[in-house]
């Protein structure tokens, strides 16, 4: 007999003291984690079921990223994602993870017009989805928008480095800050975002040395994706770490499973079973109550005789 698999129990974040229900982190908890050197762990989620499992696992935060454009809708990038699509998925994630810090990711066009429109759209995330903060891309150019939203009492997370909504200007999905000059620009962008009132910041696809400087120089939590370990936590795309997204795999992704291959096997097996008649079997069907089949046959005979007479 095989020995039972020994599973090490999950270690709950010490800031999450359970009293029947998991405590949702606040901005002050996240700030305290930075000061204590504790890493925050988060990922993207786009649906109720994923959010539910992530909360059960003890995920610190969930980002309903505009990456759903590629991961869910099959777009070539994030630009086509609308605010209606983003709100729809953010609502689902909040329902699945009511006790997790949820971040609404403002898509392209939702804050690129007037400041008034940007604030109004940020408010929609709070009123419609009950988010804990919103995230938007851009450094110096977005500072005035960040300040306006923050001044209206909402939490804003900044995003510098590789900003997917600006790939046309950046020349594609390329690492940023690899030269001294371009690294200095990112550091200045981060400083501007902080001074505008962002409570935290995401740094994407920049060298670890640059991320380290930003994290050490700025007092707010600095999180990374493809930006090394010298920051206050990490975020990953859920379909990347599960091995579901098939189009490409960024260098910075670690696949914790290859569910794409497993799903393919399942689909192929299902197709085979249906076509060969192996599924559904008797155990997959609902039988009639004993004696009811005979009653049905008699009933149909009566109906047939009545039809013939008429």
- My answer on whether omega of the bond before 280 falls inside 30° of 0, hence cis, is yes
How many Cβ atoms from other residues are within 10 Å of residue 67's Cβ? 22
In this predicted model, what pLDDT tens digit does every residue of 173-209 receive, in sequence order?
678 889 999 999 999 999 999 999 999 999 999 999 9
**Residue 138: DSSP 8-state:** B
Across 91-99, average pLDDT = 98
Report how far residue 117's alpha carbon sits from residue 6's, in angstroms, rounded to the nearest whole number: 53
In this predicted model, what pLDDT tens digit does every residue of 116-136 receive, in sequence order?
999 999 999 999 999 999 999
Report residue 15's pLDDT band, with 50, 70 and 90 as the boundaries.
low
Across 9-18, average pLDDT = 49
18, 204, 268, 283: which one is catalytic?
A: 204
pTM: 0.87
Which residues make beta-bridge pairs with 135?
105, 157
Domains within the chain, CATH numbers bracketed: 27-241 (3.20.20.60)
Report how far residue 262's alpha carbon sits from residue 253's, in angstroms, rounded to the nearest whole number: 19
> Could you tell me if 172 and 166 are in contact, meaning their C-beta atoms sit under 8 angstroms apart?
no
Is 204 considered catalytic here?
yes
Statement: residue 1 has pLDDT above 90: no
Residues 6 or more apart in contact with residue 266 via CB below 8 angstroms: none
In this predicted model, what pLDDT tens digit does every residue of 29-55 receive, in sequence order?
999 999 999 999 999 999 999 999 999
Report residue 13's pLDDT band, with 50, 70 and 90 as the boundaries.
low
What was the pLDDT predicted at 309? 81
Across 77-81, average pLDDT = 94
Rg of the Cα atoms in the chain? 25
Which residues make beta-bridge pairs with 223?
202
What was the pLDDT predicted at 19? 39
| Count, residues in the chain | 310
Statement: residue 4 has pLDDT above 70: no
């Amino acid at each position: 007999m095989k020995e039972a698999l020994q599973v090490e129990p999950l270690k709950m974040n010490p800031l999450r003291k359970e009293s029947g229900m998991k405590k949702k982190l606040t901005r002050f908890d996240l700030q305290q984690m930075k000061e204590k050197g504790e890493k925050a762990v988060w990922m993207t989620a786009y649906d109720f079921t994923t959010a539910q499992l992530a909360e059960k696992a003890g995920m610190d935060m969930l980002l309903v990223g505009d990456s759903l454009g590629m991961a869910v809708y099959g777009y070539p990038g994030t630009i086509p994602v609308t605010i209606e699509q983003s709100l729809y998925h953010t609502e689902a994630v909040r329902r699945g993870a009511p006790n997790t810090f949820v971040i609404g990711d403002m898509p392209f066009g939702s804050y690129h017009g007037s400041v008034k429109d940007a604030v109004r759209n940020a408010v929609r995330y709070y009123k419609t989805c009950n988010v804990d903060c919103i995230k938007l891309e851009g450094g110096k150019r977005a500072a005035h928008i960040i300040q306006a939203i923050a001044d209206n009492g909402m939490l804003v997370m900044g995003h510098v480095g590789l900003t997917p909504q600006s790939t046309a200007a950046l020349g594609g999905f390329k690492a940023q800050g690899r030269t001294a000059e371009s690294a200095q620009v990112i550091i200045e962008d981060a400083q501007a975002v902080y001074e505008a009132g962002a409570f935290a910041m995401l740094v994407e696809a920049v060298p670890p040395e640059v991320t380290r400087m930003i994290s050490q120089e700025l007092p707010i939590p600095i999180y990374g994706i493809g930006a090394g370990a010298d920051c206050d936590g990490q975020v990953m795309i859920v379909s990347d770490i599960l091995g579901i997204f098939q189009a490409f795999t960024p260098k910075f992704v670690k696949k914790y499973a290859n569910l794409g291959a497993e799903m393919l096997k399942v689909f192929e097996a299902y197709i085979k079973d249906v076509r060969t008649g192996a599924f559904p079997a008797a155990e997959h069907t609902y039988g009639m109550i004993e004696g009811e089949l005979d009653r049905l046959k008699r009933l149909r005979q009566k109906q047939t005789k009545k039809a013939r007479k008429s």
